Amino acid sequence: MSDTTLWIWPSVQKLSCNDLAACSVSLGSSELGALSRIKHAGRRREYICGHYLLRVALSHKYGVALADWPIMHRDDLGPKLETFERGAATFNISHSHNTVCCLVADMGAVGVDIERIDRCRGVDKLAQVFFSEAEICALNALPSDQLHAYFYRLWTLKECTIKAKMQGISTAALKELCFAELSGRAGVNSHVDSLSYFAFRLAGFQIAYCLGSMTGNKVDIRVYKPGVRQSRQINPAVQCYIQAAPIS
């Protein structure tokens, strides 16, 4: 089994109020305090499910009870594990349109981002604001039926990288990153830093994740379903990317 696992929980909107209440029981005081400040029902659902999935992922990996993880909420940088007597654990959470995912590793920086592919969105205008010049040129060279796939692939790569670096999401940070696809290469050698980058499509969603050099490149990808003892492991077609210096 890999030291790094990406958990995906689809269709969380199907959970009943009782299901959500049961998930909330395992959350700590810091998380519950943050939850009390969230008024939007959909956001509350995503928060509960994201933090519950994090506890499921950690417990699956280390054999610790769900409620025993001392997780601290942080508004800007995501949740933090205060102490862990058995070693190191790094993780990141993302959610989009009723699907949440969680990436857990033994060590090293990690980041994950999921976005539903919205074909009604004007991605060309967004790219002008958030993409590097090289990425915009690549976008403009594509046929129209490939624009959305390209946009969301790069957008998720950018966001998961910023999250792994524990930086705030900003226009400048997004535009500074520049990604290129690795064709037919198994390894990843970044031109900029020691992070590795991966992306794949799944059921109308684009998912990207970023790993520090200490985590290795092997990732188990699992679909979580409440009440099922053994999570389903999947093997989507994952593409590797490199981060290069932007061409202005």
| From 62-76, 108-122, 189-203, 207-221, the region with the lowest mean pLDDT | 189-203
pLDDT at 224: 94
215 domain residue, yes or no: yes
Range of the domain at 35: 4-243
166 domain residue, yes or no: yes
- Give yes or no for residue 65 having a pLDDT over 60: yes
pLDDT at 69: 86
65 domain residue, yes or no: yes
Residue 224 burial (CB count, 10 A): 21
Q: 241, 242, 198: which is closest to 221 by C-alpha?
A: 198
pLDDT at 184: 40
170 domain residue, yes or no: yes
pLDDT at 84: 59
pLDDT at 87: 58
For residues 72-82, give the mean pLDDT. Answer: 76
16 domain residue, yes or no: yes
Measure Cα distances from 98 to 47, 95, 172, 187, 198 in Å.
11, 7, 29, 33, 22
Mean residue pLDDT across the chain: 85
DSSP output for 204-233: TEEEEEEE-TTS-S-EEEEE--TT-SSPEE
pLDDT at 170: 82
Helix (H, G, I), strand (E, B) or coil at 112: strand
CATH of the domain at 202: 3.90.470.20
Of the segments 12-26, 189-203, 229-243, which one has the largest average pLDDT value? Answer: 12-26
Per-residue pLDDT band for 78 (boundaries 50, 70, 90) equals confident
| From 16-30, 119-133, 188-202, 220-234, the region with the lowest mean pLDDT | 188-202
19 domain residue, yes or no: yes
Measured N-to-C along each axis, helices 133-140 and 123-130 cross at an angle, to the nearest 10 degrees, of 160
- Give yes or no for residue 49 having a pLDDT over 70: yes
For residues 176-194, give the mean pLDDT. Answer: 60
248 domain residue, yes or no: no
77 domain residue, yes or no: yes
More confident residue, 170 or 51: 51
For residues 170-195, give the mean pLDDT. Answer: 67
pLDDT at 189: 43
pLDDT tens, position by position, 188-216: 444 446 788 999 999 999 999 999 865 56
3-state DSSP helix/strand/coil % of the chain, to nearest 5: 35, 25, 40
pLDDT at 14: 93
Residues 182 and 168: their CA atoms lie apart, in Å, by 27
For residues 134-155, give the mean pLDDT. Answer: 91
Counting the structural domains of the chain, the total is 1
Measure Cα distances from 131 to 64, 121, 139, 248 in Å.
42, 16, 10, 11
pLDDT at 169: 78
